[in-house]
A and B are shown apart, each in its own frame.
Chain A
Amino acid sequence: MNHWIALPILLPFVSAILIEIVGRGRIAVRRGMGLASCLGTIAVGAAMVLLTRHGKVYTYALGDWEAPFGVVLVLDGLSALLVALTGVVSLFCLLYAMNRHDTRGKFFHFFIQMQVAGICGAVLTGDLFSLFVFFEIMLLSSYNLLVYTGDKQSLRAGIHYVILNLTGSVLFLVAIGTLYGVTGTLNMADMALRVSELGAEDIALVRAGALLLTVVFLLKSAILPLYLWLPNVYSSAMAPVAALFAILTKVGVYAILRVSTLIFGPEAGVAADAIEPYLLPLATLTLLLGMTGALGSTHLRKMMGYLIVASLGTMLMAMGLFTETGIASGLYYLPHSTVAIAMLFLLADLIGRQRGPEDDHLVVAHMPKQSGVLGLIFFVGAIAVAGLPPFSGFLGKMWILQASLPAPQVVIIWAVILSTSVMALVAFSRAGSLIFWKGEEPPKGEPPRGDSQMGATAFEFLPVVGLLICIVLYTAFAGPVAEFCTVTAQNLLTPSVYIEAVLGAQR
Chain B
Amino acid sequence: MEALIASAIAVLGGCGIYLVLRERTFTVILGLALLAIATNLFLLSMGRVAPGHAPVIEEGIELSAYVDPLPQAVVLTAIVIGFAMMAFVVVLSISAHFVTGTDHIDGGEHTQ
Q: Is the pairing of A and B real?
A: yes
Give chain A's interface residues, CB within 8 Å of chain B. Answer: 129, 133, 136, 140, 143, 147, 150-152, 155-156, 158-160, 162-163, 166-167, 169-170, 173-174, 176-178, 180-181, 184, 186
Q: Report if A133-B28 is in contact (Cβ < 8 Å); known contacts: A150-B99, A173-B39, A186-B70.
A: no
> Is B96 an interface residue, CB under 8 A from the partner?
yes
- Cβ of A180: which chain B residues have Cβ within 8 Å of it? 46-47, 70-71, 74
Docked pose: A166 CA to B19 CA in angstroms: 14
Write the chain B residue with the least CB distance to A173: B39
Docked pose: A151 CA to B99 CA in angstroms: 7
B63 to chain A, nearest CB (A): 13
Docked pose: A202 CA to B96 CA in angstroms: 46
B72-89 interface with A by 8 A CB criterion: 74, 77-78, 81-82, 84-85, 88-89
Docked pose: A184 CA to B96 CA in angstroms: 42
- Cβ of B20: which chain A residues have Cβ within 8 Å of it? 163, 167
Quick check: B35 and A170 within 8 Å, CB to CB?
yes
Docked pose: A468 CA to B103 CA in angstroms: 42
- Cβ of B30: which chain A residues have Cβ within 8 Å of it? none
**What is the predominant secondary structure among interface residues of chain A facing chain B?**
helix
B31 to chain A, nearest CB (A): 9
Docked pose: A166 CA to B100 CA in angstroms: 22
Docked pose: A155 CA to B108 CA in angstroms: 12
Quick check: B46 and A178 within 8 Å, CB to CB?
yes
Docked pose: A143 CA to B70 CA in angstroms: 30
Q: Report if A156-B85 is in contact (Cβ < 8 Å); known contacts: A129-B74, A133-B77.
A: no
Quick check: A129 and B77 within 8 Å, CB to CB?
yes
Write the chain A residue with the least CB distance to B102: A156
Docked pose: A181 CA to B32 CA in angstroms: 24
Quick check: B89 and A162 within 8 Å, CB to CB?
yes
Tell which of A129, A151, A166, A181 touches B89, judged by Cβ atoms closer than 8 Å.
Answer: A166
A317 to chain B, nearest CB (A): 32
Quick check: B93 and A159 within 8 Å, CB to CB?
yes
Q: A159-B105, A163-B105, A181-B46 are in contact. List 16 more A-B contacts (CB 8 A).
A: A129-B77, A133-B77, A140-B84, A143-B92, A147-B92, A147-B95, A155-B100, A156-B106, A156-B108, A163-B89, A166-B32, A167-B20, A169-B81, A169-B82, A177-B43, A180-B70
Name, among A136, A156, A169, A177, the residue most crowded by chain B CB atoms within 10 Å (CB to CB): A177
B10 to chain A, nearest CB (A): 13
> Is B55 an interface residue, CB under 8 A from the partner?
no
Quick check: B105 and A133 within 8 Å, CB to CB?
no
Q: Report if A167-B25 is in contact (Cβ < 8 Å); known contacts: A133-B81, A152-B99, A159-B92.
A: no
Docked pose: A184 CA to B82 CA in angstroms: 23
- Cβ of A176: which chain B residues have Cβ within 8 Å of it? 43, 74
Quick check: B78 and A173 within 8 Å, CB to CB?
yes
Q: Report if A169-B96 is in contact (Cβ < 8 Å); known contacts: A129-B77, A177-B43.
A: no
- Cβ of B92: which chain A residues have Cβ within 8 Å of it? 143, 147, 155, 158-159, 162
Write the chain A residue with the least CB distance to B100: A152
Docked pose: A167 CA to B107 CA in angstroms: 19
Q: Report if A150-B95 is in contact (Cβ < 8 Å); known contacts: A129-B74, A159-B25.
A: yes
A226 to chain B, nearest CB (A): 15
B32-84 interface with A by 8 A CB criterion: 32, 35-36, 39-40, 42-43, 46-48, 68, 70-71, 74, 77-78, 81-82, 84
A101 to chain B, nearest CB (A): 19
A194 to chain B, nearest CB (A): 14
Name, among A151, A170, A180, the residue most crowded by chain B CB atoms within 10 Å (CB to CB): A170
Docked pose: A155 CA to B85 CA in angstroms: 16
Write the chain A residue with the least CB distance to B77: A133
